[in-house]
Structure 1
Amino acid sequence: MQLSTSMPNPGSLGNLKLPDLFESFRSLPPRTNPLYAQVKEASLKWLSEYCKQALQSLQRKRLLTTPRICGFDEAAQDRLRRADFAYITAVAFPDVEDFDRLLVITNWFNWVFFFDDQLDDTAGHEDKEPARRYIDSFVTVLNDEDDKGPDSDREEQPSRFVFRCIWQAVKQDPRCPPAETKLRWADSMNRYFEALRQALVFEPSSTLAETVEGYIEYRFHTVGVLPIFAFIEYFYALRLPSEVWTHPEMIGLREAGVKMAMIDNDVVSYHREKDLGCPHNIIHLHHLHGMSEQDAYDLAQHRQRELYRTWYTHRSALPLYGEHQDGEIQRYLRGLEQVVTANLNWSFRTQRYFGENVAQVRQTGVLPRDTQWLDGVIPDRGLQLVTSKAVQAKALATSTASATSTTPALTIASATRTGERSSMDKARAVLVGA
């Protein structure tokens, strides 16, 4: 089959019927954490004030090579507020009363969407090395492999500084359960970064089945749901022993939940990513292989219903461990459902995907031809956050030194596979004594 090498014409999208994604356990109205508004404003305030300070400092030192650093002028703050990432936190964790922990994950959501938008903007670039170096710079923070102090990157690399603050908050939280919980979060982030590297070189195959298989291999991690699942243990102080965490039925439940979120995201974001020329979308890949956009949407609903059946099959097959452990497991499973429900409800609340048409699209399920979407925090995205030639040289030297390292193949089924053991070992080393 001869495949198209470009995205479909943005103007060709007619009125389409979106799948009904609000089925099964996601058909009920979500509960919202009462701290939602306070946490949202606190996160926006911290990010905007920090970025303004960093911008002023760089301007004084004449290090700034681009007109903005974080992009947090008033217009950018308005876009971030309308994107409303704090709502995901509020619905995913409706019962958490700890303001500081809610703020940590809200900061993470604000960071991860900004970070993801930057990388999406590199999709059409032939030279992937800048993006690869950029990703690697975050891995060094996660694995404590750089020699910088806690305030490093405050001026030179704000996005990395924000991520560093989030990781330090998780790692040093004395109220967090045993290190295994922090280990799982660090591992999920390591796999997220590894999969982003894989996404940089992804190319569609000659057959639809091979294309979808290759896509799911990295998209399972780049959708960013596994780190949120790990936050469930962190927030509710759960203690799931290894035998529970690695049980095949528990692994199957996490896989089903992640894949539900993958389909949700690709369905709601397709028209936005189509306009942006970003190919990392299951609807686009089916269309690339000759399927109509409407048929691709319909197939997404079919697959979602299969995942619901898979979910309940795995849940019913979980063994029983006794009152106390079963109570912890049920709290965790409810958390998985709340996370997947939160992502979906947020998608039809934020203006990120449907702009001011979001209420109409939610009510009718119809995507009009003229539907607008909310731009990213920085409209002229791209990897523009390295602020001086000295920093660029340092990043290049670091990349060259690590060029011989290899990224393990990523898999999604078993908690004992080689790639996962590799990232778990890295995270374990970081958490010794934490």
Structure 2
Amino acid sequence: MSPSVRQFRLPDLLSACPLKDGTSPHYKEAAAESRAWINSYDIFTDRKRAFFIQGQNELLCSHVYCFAGYEELRTTCDFVNLLFVVDEVSDEQNGMEARATGQVFVNAMKYGDWDDGSILATITKEFRARFLRLAGPNTVKRFADQCETYTQCVGREAELRERNEVLGVQDFVPHRRQNSAVLLCFTLVEYILGLNLKDEVYEDETFQEAYFAACDYVCWSNDVYSYDMEQSRGLIGNNIVTVLMNERGISLQEASDYIGAYCDGLLKRYLNARKRISLSLGLEAAQFIDAVGQWMIGNLVWSFETVRYFGPSHLEVKETGIVYLRPQARFDDSGSESSDDEC
């Protein structure tokens, strides 16, 4: 990216998406309890605690799981907050350290009697107990497997960051599906709705078409929305915007425009496949695919309701579509943030 490029226009994904957004009536109570639960472990520096609170992870759950009951919504808030902990820790680690962090998470999630005494293990085991109360056996196994795949990809992301290596589009897409944790979060839809889908459902071609189109839509749209925040923190390698600019030699604006067109195609693919889900798979398969659509629209809406990606200008960015790139932040030894600008 040229140093002279200091702004770009986002693709207008919101107006192009016909899916209906919703919010949970249980949001405020569930969010407060989940946030208090995480904060009770006092694991964040002041800077990270502020970033955690401002990010409003629980509000995302309110949108994407708007159909959840109170207990189920609280559990999803706990999980998204747990992922925030894993992600924030691993972002500052090398490959070996990130894999070790991920293994703690996986072991605590998969094995009820495993414990290394760490805070991460304790938090994970507490979430696991809540999740197991309502999840079916197929869902539990699928969720555990997805957790393992997710952590492996987070470790790989750290290794790529160490080498300053950016993947090509073909390799990045399956990698991003997993290290974004979107597929993992999709599994929570089964938990919320009380489903227990068989593996054969996930192997169906039309089901896969809708499933991966929804996942890629969330990943690609999230990457273009989060690009400024990530570049300001020096973490741009794990983003489809960077991948496209690097592989195709295109500008930031051209990458943003391409993502907009590609997301339109993914949306059409999802909607078309959703109509063609075979009745032979059972009504639960169609119910699941319909519900993951809430992630597609909910993530878009949430991105403009929080300061996580666009800072205090989030409502202005929603109105204009223009993102002004922030300078890269610097962190002193105390963990306090400063910017390249003095004012």
Report the TM range for the smaller structure's normalisation.
0.7 to 0.9
Aligned to 2:151: 193
After superposition, what is the alpha-carbon deviation per residue over 1:12-43, rounded to whole angstroms, capped at 9, x for unaligned? 4422111112255x345521111101111111
Contact 1:220 1:262 in 2 (8 A): yes
Of the three residues 71, 91, 96, the one matched with 1:120 is 91
| In 1, Cα distance between equivalents of 2:114 and 2:49 | 32
Aligned residue for 1:16, secondary structure, equals strand
- The reply to whether residue 83 of structure 1 matches residue 22 of structure 2 is no
Which runs of structure 2 are paired with 1:3-402 in the superposition (5 Å)? 8=1, 12-24=4-16, 26-27=17-18, 30-49=21-40, 51-52=41-42, 70-71=43-44, 77-97=49-69, 99-122=70-93, 128-144=95-111, 147-148=114-115, 153=117, 157-171=118-132, 173=133, 175-176=134-135, 178-202=136-160, 211-278=168-235, 279-289=237-247, 290-321=249-280, 325-326=282-283, 328-370=284-326
Q: Which residue identity lines up with residue 349 of structure 1 in the other structure?
A: E
Larger Rg computed on CA atoms: 1
**Partner of residue 396, structure 1:** none
CA distance in 1, matches of 2:126, 2:181: 18
Once residues 306 and 91 of structure 2 are traced to their aligned partners in structure 1, the CA distance between those partners, rounded to angstroms, is: 19
Query: Residues 276 and 372 from structure 1, CA distance in 2 versus in 1: closer, same or farther, beyond 3 angstroms?
Result: closer
In structure 1, distance between residues paired with 2:26 and 2:113: 36
Q: Distance in 2 between matches of 1:23 and 1:246?
A: 33
Q: How much has 1:380 moved relative to structure 2?
A: 6.7
1:236, CA displacement in angstroms? Answer: 1.1
- One-letter code aligned to 1:285: V
C-alpha change, 1:45 and 1:292, in structure 2 (3 Å) is same
Provide TM-score, normalisation by structure 2. 0.86
Give the AA of the match of 2:318: R
Corresponding residue number in structure 1 for 2:341: none
From the superposition, tell whether residues 222 and 380 of structure 1 become closer, same or farther in structure 2 (CA, over 3 Å): farther
Once residues 263 and 337 of structure 1 are traced to their aligned partners in structure 2, the CA distance between those partners, rounded to angstroms, is 15
Which sits farther off after the overlay, 215-224 or 328-337? 328-337
**Could you tell me the TM-score, scaled by structure 1's length?**
0.69
Residues 229-248 of structure 1: per-residue CA shift (max 9 Å, x gap): 11111111124344333211
CA distance, structure 2, for counterparts of residue 349 and residue 294 of structure 1: 23
What runs of 5+ residues in structure 2 fail to find an aligned partner?
338-343
Q: Deviations over 1:157-214 (max 9, x none)?
A: 323321222123222x0x43x30121121121111112223323338xxxx9x71112
In structure 2, relative to structure 1, the CA distance for the partners of 1:201 and 1:78 (3 Å cut) is: closer
| 1:317 partner amino acid | R
- Equivalent residue pairs, number: 330
Find the residue that maps to 1:86 and give its secondary structure: helix
Letter in 1 for 2:63: V
Q: Contact (CA 8 Å) 2:95, 2:157: kept in 1 or not?
A: no
**1:202–1:104 distance in 2 versus 1, CA, 3 Å:** same
Structure 1 residues 202, 71: CA separation in 2 closer, same or farther (over 3 Å shift)? closer
Flag the structure with more relative contact order, 1 or 2, with Cα contacts below 8 A and sequence separation at least 6: 1
Identity of counterpart residues, as a percentage? 22
Taking a change above 3 Å as real, the CA distance of residues 252 and 29 of structure 1, as seen in their structure-2 partners, is closer
State whether residues 27 and 59 of structure 2, in contact with CA within 8 Å, keep that contact through their aligned partners in structure 1.
Answer: yes
Letter in 1 for 2:157: A
After superposition, what is the alpha-carbon deviation per residue over 1:79-118, rounded to whole angstroms, capped at 9, x for unaligned?
Answer: 4332111111111222222x22211110111121232122
Alignment RMSD (CA, Å): 2.9
Query: Gaps spanning 5+ residues in structure 1: where?
Result: 1-7, 53-69, 382-434
Distance in 1 (CA, whole Å) between partners of 2:112 and 2:234 is 34
C-alpha distance in 1 between matches for 2:214 and 2:257: 19
CA separation in 1, counterparts of 2:176 and 2:23?
Answer: 28
**Contact preservation (8 Å) 1:356, 1:372:** no
1 or 2, which has the higher helix percentage? 2
Q: Which amino acid aligns with 1:88?
A: L
Q: Does structure 2 conserve the Cα–Cα contact (< 8 Å) formed by 1:357 and 1:372?
A: no
